[in-house]
Amino acid sequence: MDHLERFEDLISTIRVKGVSEDYLLCKIFRYSLGREALHWLKQLQPESLKSWSEIKNAFLCNFFDEARAEDLRSKIATFTQEPAESF
């Protein structure tokens, strides 16, 4: 999820007259991807994802699996504050 947040933050700084942020997100996303993710994106049917929301959701479904989510939930549930650590 961190990659998507950084990418969205970056694109939000770009302003092109007459071009929507959604369009920029969709068109530039492929250039932010590594080998495995780019391969996944290229395997999709052309025009199958028509908005940034659709691309983002498909990306998360493919790369943020339930096992990883469960691992993160477990880590969050066991957070502890060290004695010298500020709140």
pTM, to two decimals: 0.70
Whether 58 and 44 have beta carbons less than 8 Å apart is answered as yes
Q: What is the pLDDT, as a whole number, of residue 73?
A: 74
Mean pLDDT of 35-42: 94
Over residues 11-29, the pLDDT tens digits come to 999 999 999 999 999 999 9
Question: What percentage of the chain reaches a pLDDT higher than 90?
Answer: 62
- C-alpha closest to that of 57 among 16, 31, 29: 29
In the chain, where the domains are located: 2-77
Question: What is the distance between the alpha carbons of residues 34 and 42, in angstroms, rounded to a whole number?
Answer: 12
For residue 44, name the pLDDT band (cuts at 50, 70, 90).
very high
- C-alpha closest to that of 25 among 40, 14, 35: 14
Question: What is the distance between the alpha carbons of residues 58 and 60, in angstroms, rounded to a whole number?
Answer: 5
